[in-house]
Structures are given as C-alpha cells and as structure tokens.
Amino acid sequence: MSLTIGVDIGGTKVGGGVVDENGNVLATTRRPTPADDTPGVIQAVKEVVEELRQSHDIEAVGIGAAGWISSDRSTVMLAPNLSWKNEPLRDKVAEAIDLPVVVENDANVAIWGEHKFGAAKRHRSSVLYTIGTGVGGGIVVKDNLLRGTNGVAAEIGHTRSVMPDGRQCGCGRTGCLEQYASGRALTRAAQEGAAEHPEKAAILLKLAGGDPESITGRQVTEAARQGDEVALGAFDFIGYYLGNSAADMVNLIDPGVILVAGGVVDAGDLLLDPIRKHYQEALGNRAQVPVAEVRAAELGSKAGVIGAADLARHREIVP
C-alpha cells in the first residue's frame, strides 16, 4: 500500500493527513499556523509530517498553500496572507523531512481531490469555486490540472468580467469576483441590507442583537433558513455573481460539472439555488444544448489534504 501525506497550510492551522491510493484519510494531525513567521510554518509542517510518520510508512508529501506557486511546483512566488515572496518552500521542507515534496495552490489541490475521489470523479473536465473569506478557483481539463504557463492559472476569484470598475480587491485591482461572491461579500450584503431595510431583516437583526454591523456569516445562514428577506437577498446577491461567472466558465471550458466548496456551502441549497437560477439565466441559448450541472463539492475540508497527497503520489507527472 502506497501512503503519502497531504498538508494544508491555512491561515490559522497547518493540517496534515496520511492518505492511501484510494483517497482514504487514515490519520490526521494539526498545528497552529505561526503568522508572518516562515521558519515557523516550515517547522509546523515538519512536526505534522514527523508525527504522522511515526505510525505510517510515507513515500512523499504534498503541500497545498494559498498563493501563486511556480510552474515547477517548488516556490511560493507570492502569498499575501502569509507574507511570502519567492519562498522556496519545496526544497526547505524536503530538506527538513528528507522526503520528496510537491507544492501546489490550495484551490488546485482541492479540485484535484474532488476530481480523483469526490464530486467530479465521473468527469474529465471540471471547475471548482471555493467560497470562504475569499473566492478560490481550480480547473481540471481532460484529467489535468490547468496550471498555465507560469503556474498561476484558474484564479477565477480574480476575474472581473461582471464588474470591472467595482470594489477594490486585495490583489491590486477593482471589481474582482471575490469582492462580490465571497463569504465576506455575503456578510457585507446582509449588513448593508439590514441597515437600509431593517423592517425586512427582523430575524437577522434579532440574531445580531439589533446591530447591523455585528451581523456574522453564520447568522446570515441561520436567518435565511428562517425566511429572513434580507438574509435570503444576500445569498441571491452572491449567487448572481457566481451564477454569471459559472456561465462564463461554460463558454470558456465546457466542463462536465461545476463544483462549489468552502465554508459557505454549509448553507446548502440556500446558496446553490440562487447560483443555479442566475446560472440558467446567464447561459442564454447555451442552455438548449448539454451543459454542466452546478453542485456542492463532496470532500469538504479534507479535499486539500486528499488532493495534495495524491499529487505527491504522482509527483513525476507535472501537469
């Protein structure tokens, strides 16, 4: 049995898991992510790997990290959340643990997990949106990760075909999808809606103690479940942008399935129904011929660990 470890470097924790060749996670562990401390992050990865290695025979390690990863999968060229620039993560970790290492973008490892073992496994081409604090994107075309010339393809969250002159984005541009379709955008839409129309946000405001500015994402989901008009409107708001973006992906990629993942997907059909509605509207005549279904991803928070571990197993194949 070939075993590899997948490691997910997130903003708050470094999570790792031992994964077999069928995508089963056999053991997991985690450490806190030391922010703004690169040697500390590498130490955390090392500790995670060393702990998991004590009970399993490991052949390689895959790492998923938010940021732009070089095309040879060795270097984090830019990772705003971790303050990394041109960080040779692969070689530093490989030196620390004495195992082969593969580094890949966090959304790319997630779609790879879904492609091999999850909601996209019946399709050769697929698109993934990860809706969290921001919006991540991953694309698989004909069983290959779309990585691009420089390793930075599929940044769907920073496309801006829907609103090019819109809100300022952390990437230095304005109007990116991320500003209109993230968990943060959902909360902001609900906060603004409740401030403007408190009479339509009675349930939401009650949950938030009466103050629109203290509304949280969790409260938006809870209020929408109870039928709150402003909360439902906030889901419709981000669903509009995601649905329009998904229709663009159909024109660009013609995937077999479009997946939605990330924390906000816990809301289920509260999120998926508006996306599907606006997606159908945005397809135009394209809806008259076969077209990808929009559905929730299946592997949840384990997708990154499973995908990274599988990329490490097949590390000789650089897509």
Residues within the interface to Zn ion (CB under 5 A):
158, 169, 171, 176
Beta strands in 192-296 (DSSP E): 257-261, 293-296
> Quick one: 155 or 228, whose CB is closer to Zn ion?
155
Q: Which residues of 285-306 are buried (b: 16+ CB within 10 A; e: fewer)?
A: eeeeeebbebebbbbeebbbbb
Q: How far apart are CA 194 and CA 211, in angstroms?
A: 9
> Quick one: 109 or 169, whose CB is closer to Zn ion?
169
CB atoms within 10 A of CB 92: 18
Query: Are residues 60 and 98 in contact, defined by beta-carbon separation less than 8 angstroms?
Result: no
Give me the residue label for tokens 């938010």. 66
CB of 158 to Zn ion, least distance (A): 4
Would strands 68-69 and 4-9 be described as parallel, antiparallel, or unpaired?
A: unpaired
> Quick one: 221 or 245, whose CB is closer to Zn ion?
245
> Quick one: 242 or 292, whose CB is closer to Zn ion?
242
> Quick one: 62 or 132, whose CB is closer to Zn ion?
132
CB of 164 to Zn ion, least distance (A): 11
Strand partners, 84: 79
Q: How far apart are CA 291 and CA 193, in angstroms?
A: 34
Q: How far apart are CA 111 and CA 109, in angstroms?
A: 6
CB of 189 to Zn ion, least distance (A): 18
Helical (H) or strand (E) element with 137 = strand 135-141
CB of 301 to Zn ion, least distance (A): 24
3-class state of residue 184 by DSSP: helix
> Quick one: 94 or 169, whose CB is closer to Zn ion?
169
> Quick one: 134 or 307, whose CB is closer to Zn ion?
134
Q: How far apart are CA 10 and CA 15, in angstroms?
A: 8
CB of 212 to Zn ion, least distance (A): 26
CB of 170 to Zn ion, least distance (A): 6
Read off the amino acid at residue 277: K
Interaxial angle between packed helices 229-253 and 183-196, expressed in degrees from 0 to 180 and rounded to the nearest 10 = 140
CB of 234 to Zn ion, least distance (A): 21
> Quick one: 175 or 274, whose CB is closer to Zn ion?
175
CB of 132 to Zn ion, least distance (A): 14
Q: How far apart are CA 237 and CA 120, in angstroms?
A: 26
Q: How far apart are CA 235 and CA 253, in angstroms?
A: 26
